[in-house]
Each structure stands twice: as structure tokens, then as C-alpha cells.
Amino acid sequence: MCRLATGCTANDKTSTASGHNYCFRSQLHNNTNTAFILVQLNPIAGAVISEPVGCEVRARLESGWVCGLRRFAENNTVYASFRGVPYAKQPLGELRFKELEPAEPWDYLDASEEGPICPQHDVFYGKMMTSHKMEEACIYANIHVPIEALPESSLRRPLRHLKPPYEAGLSEEDEPKQPGLPILVFVHGGGFSFGSGNSDVYGPEYLVSKGVIVITFNYRLNVFGFLSLNTPSIPGNNAIRDVITLLRWVRTNARSFGGDPEQVTLGGQSAGATIAHLTSFAPDTEGLFNRLILMSGTAMPAFYTLSPVFAQNIASMFLTHLNITTTDPELAHSELIKLPIDKIMNANRMLIDYFGLTTFVPVLEQKIPGVNPVVLEDPITLMNKGVGRNMEMFIGFTTAECESFRPRFEQIDMITRINENPLLVLSPSILFNAPPSDLLNIAKEVEQKYFNGEPTMDNYIHSCSDTFYNYPALKIAQMKQAMGGAPVFLYQFSYEGKANVIKTAFGINYKGVGHVEDMTYVFKVNSIMGKYITFPSGSKDDLMRKRMTTFVSNFVKCGYPNCIGNEVAAWRPVDRYLRYQEIENTYYKSTDPTDAQIEMLEFFNNLYNTTAS
């Protein structure tokens, strides 16, 4: 009988060649026209390892061998792509809300296709997301490696000459002679509620051609990633724990795919940037990464709140919708782990339609026996204590962030909501931290600054952009500079491209640069690029792609957006004047904050000071 482990299914053909049990999977990959035969061996000590037919690239990870594909990036750069690799045991059944456990070992794993995305209700990406296979077993990573970085054993030497895969780690003769390439681990965005690390949105093709290993991955979302009952069973912040698990997995396996475990940059966009930043404050993460890239998101509670009161309120709404009426959180947990996924996701859908863009979010934790806390204090408090002063940071925001959300705001009739409840103009953090008696007065201050007495969608877009993205980016950069230590680099992305991924995907038009736009010049949005638009060679769009990927890859390599020649001086770290780089028209320039940005900083500083008092 053939053991069915990860990589084999009951539909695979079986054989008993050479006295051992095998599973064979024949699969045709359209992108390479390669007939791939997967060989799955029982883990019998001393068994001969047979080489799969058509295995183009391989790597021996701690859990076993993975077999990937050669793919092509920009300028016909060849890279090895290992997709759908489990970085932990799937959190099913009793494990649904627990911290991830180590992946179960396998013998040989087909890593040619991406895994399913985590359960979610997408209200933003739309046709940008073409990965719609959705399963609760979704804990997968995608590793993309410049082909020359792979250890010798991954490319040329026959498998029969290597140690069995269940003997973890590289042998001394297989140890790479070079230190390995720097690694970018990127956390996908999606309001803590939706999205994935798959290549439809986060294609590695631009960056991997710059000599960087790119790792994207899925983590638990919405209720599975952030529901908190403040108990050992459901403490909250599981998504952040997933990221930490992934980073530990990267450190363990980095050399197996040609990476340098001492040169890991953690990046993220939007909620992914918030998660990355929060991860940098978590205990027991020292040594897992040494640089941060934050694109349109920080740990500063602005578009979300860390309030345990909010966590309790949304948990109560969720349980009520599921008709779970017990006041004992452990009994609630026992019911939740038995519920079908469809019922849980229906309740999540109800909540995201109620709140608009997000549901469950990170929460301040209390110390709970048996639980490793990851968010114990407010990030601003931690920064004031000097936490993170030695972490190099690269922070960005765009000129009109919330324009990308206009279709969703119109769908939920945001202006009517504001007219009915003026407090909705406030940051959720202020809503749950300011004295209730002060909230209406604070809301009136925001209305006076942004709405001229009558809310309109254009005015709300402006308010939303400043409140949720622009102010936090400037404030965090300012605080980081004041801390001393490692430098922080700040940019405003104002390039309005002709071939625009976001406008094309959503069928909209607007002035300025919306949320996610800067990222589309760093990661290839394969669902849109080539199918709907292109960046013609030599065009301004193509030049911007080259420029942005150079900035990011350089930061991953050396901690500066520019590492070559005199350009190092052209992009200096943020100084006490808060100078940043304006990226526009395929060039960038050092600039002082505008009068409007200085006024905005002062305005929100006063609001938050009022809240604190």
C-alpha cells in the first residue's frame, strides 16, 4: 500500500518497483510543456532515492525534498520557483485557532503549483485575484530563487548520490561555498481579511531578476487570523504568529535554496505592512530579519485599532451570528472548531459588509499561561522606549491612497453612513481610546478640516488618505529618525503611469496615485499584466518598474535604496527636517514636507494628544 503524504493523492497511480512503494503523478504544466512525474517514496531507512522524471529544480528542506520548475523573469532571467510548499502543519480541526505546528515530513513534494488561498470574502482585489481555490489548509509558501543561487545538489547531481530527504539539512559536501543571496519575505495586504501571496498579484518576476530571493506566503485571515477571546485557546493575533513561524522556517531552510539567513528583509503592503511592523516589535524575533519595508501601512493604529474592547465587541457579534450563546469562551472554542467552514465564512461575510473593508484586526494581548504573546504594548509606546531603533526601514506612501477604495466606498454608501454617524470620520484607534464625551468634538474638528460642513466622496477620500496612510507614514518616519540608530528612508510615490494596473483592474479613473499602485512596479501583477496592459520596453512605465525594483532590491541587499556610486548621496535617510524622496516621472528628488503635510502632522498630533490626555 502506498503511503499518501503531502504531494500524493488517492488518484495517483502506484507501483512497487525495486521492492519499494511509489506514487506516480503525471501532470502537464502549460507554462513549460513539461510532463512531470512525481515519485513519492515511503520513508524506509536507507531506501534508494529515485529521481523524478522531469524534475527541473529541487531543494532539500528540513521537511523533505521539493521539486519545482525553471521559470523566466525579466530579460529572460531564469529562476527556480518552488510553489505551494507547506511551512507548517495545516491548522485543521483542533488546530484551527492554535499556533502553527511544524510541518509533517514528506519524501518528495511537487512544488510546481501554488496552494489554495485562505478562506476569505474579497471586497477589494476583484479580478486582480485569479487564485480562487479556497481551503482552510492554506499554509503555503512560494520561494523564487535566481537559478545560479541554488546549491549544486539542486541542479546537477543525481538524487541517488544524496542523503535521504528525512536526514534534515545539507551535508558538508553540499554546503554552499558562497554566503547566499539576500532574501525578501513579503507579507501580502488585504485589510487583515483577504488576499494571498500568490503570483496573480505578487509575481516575483521583477525582483528575482535583480538577484534577490523572493518569498511570498499565505497566513490565516479574518476570524482565523485575528479572532480573540482572550483565552489560551483563542488568544488573537494568530496571523502574526504565522508570520513568525514562516520567518523561523526561512531561517532554518535558507541555505537549502541558496539564501543567506543573516540577510532577511521583512516587507509588506497595506495590512501586510502593518503585520510586518508589528512583527518587528514581537518578543523572540531577534535574528529572524534585519530590515523592514513598509508600503502604505505601519503598525501605528490608524485604519485599525488594537483595542481589546473592539476585539470583544466583534467577537460577540460573530458568535451571536453563529448562535453560540455560551458565556464560557472555552465552550465557545469547542463549538467553533466543530463548525463547518461555510458557516464561519458566512458570519465573516456579514461582518465585513457591516464594517466595510476589514473585520478582525490585531489586538493588545494580556499575558496568558501557555501562550507566547506577540502584541503586548502599543507600537507608539514601544518606539518611545527605543524598540526597533537598530532596524533599517524603508517606508512609502502614495499621493491619493484611498482613491483605490472609491468603488467599495460607493458600494457601501459611505457618505450616507457618515451623515448618519459623524464619528465614522475618525480613526478606529481614536474611537476606542478617546473619552466618549470628547468624540463628537473631535469629529467636528475633522469635519471642519476636511469636509467644509458637507461630506462628499472627494473630501472623504482626502480625509481617509491622510488619516489612515499619510500621517502614519510621516509620523513613524519622524519617530524613527528621532530614535537614532539605523536609518529610515521615506518616499512619496506620485508617478501617474499610463498603463495603470489599479485603474485597469477596477475600471475607474482618478487624479493622483492610489493605494497599491507603487507596489505594482515592484511585484508583477500577473492577472493584469500581459492580459490587459503592458509596460513597453523603454517606456516611462517600464523605466519606473526598473527604478522601483532597483530601490527595493538595493535596500534588501545593503540597507540603502541606492548602493552604487554617487547615487548613495542622492537618497539620504530621513533627517530632523523630515525630508523624503518624491518619486515621479521616472525620477526622484529630495524634498521637504509641504505646508499641507506639516499642517496635517500638527493636526493629527493634536488629535492623538487629546486622545492620550
Q: What angle do CA 24, 25, 30 make, to 5 degrees?
A: 150
Dump the DSSP string for 526-574.
TTTBTTTB---TTSHHHHHHHHHHHHHHHHHHHSSS--STTHHHHSPPP
Q: What's the whole-number mean pLDDT along residues 473-483?
A: 97
Position 244 scores a pLDDT of: 98
Per residue in 317-371, pLDDT (tens digit) is 999 999 999 999 999 999 999 999 999 999 999 999 999 999 999 999 998 988 9
List Cα–Cα distances, 238 to 117, 245, 251, 327, 400, in angstroms: 16, 10, 20, 22, 31
Q: Are 84 and 115 in contact (CB under 8 A)?
A: yes
What does pLDDT average to over the chain? 88
Which whole number is the average pLDDT over 287-292?
97
What are φ and ψ of residue 221, in 5° steps?
-115, 170
Q: Does pLDDT of 387 surpass 90?
A: yes
Residue among 63, 233, 270, 553 flagged as catalytic: 270
- d(Cα 359, Cα 395) in Å, to the nearest integer? 25
Active site residue 18: no
Facing residues of 392 across strands?
291
Residue 121 appears among annotated catalytic residues = no
Q: How far is CA 85 from the centre of its chain?
A: 16
Q: How far apart are alpha carbons 529 and 201 in whole angstroms?
A: 10
pLDDT over 90 at 214, yes or no: yes
Q: What is the pLDDT of residue 563?
A: 82
Q: What is the mean pLDDT of residues 449-477?
A: 96
In the annotation, is 401 catalytic? yes
- Give yes or no for residue 550 having a pLDDT over 60: yes
Q: Is 50 exceeded by the pLDDT of residue 71? A: yes
Task: Quote the pLDDT of residue 154.
Answer: 65
Give me the pLDDT at residue 115, please: 97
DSSP per residue, 42-97: ---TT---PPPTT--EEEEETTEEEEEEEEE-GGG-EEEEEEEEESS----GGGTT
Instruction: Report the C-alpha gap between 214 and 293 in whole angstroms.
Output: 13
Predicted confidence (pLDDT) per residue in 313-324, tens digit: 999 999 999 999
Query: What would the mean pLDDT of 235-260 be, rounded to a whole number?
Result: 97
- Residue whose cell numbers read 494580556: 366
Q: Which of 114, 401, 403, 496 is catalytic?
A: 401
pLDDT of 180 over the 60 cut: yes
**Residue 428 pLDDT level (bands cut at 50, 70, 90):** very high
- H/E element holding 461? helix 457-465
Mean pLDDT within 47-60: 66
Of the candidates 515, 517, 527, 553, the residue annotated as catalytic is 515
Is 290 a residue whose pLDDT tops 50? yes
Domains along the sequence of the chain with CATH: 57-157+181-612 (3.40.50.1820)
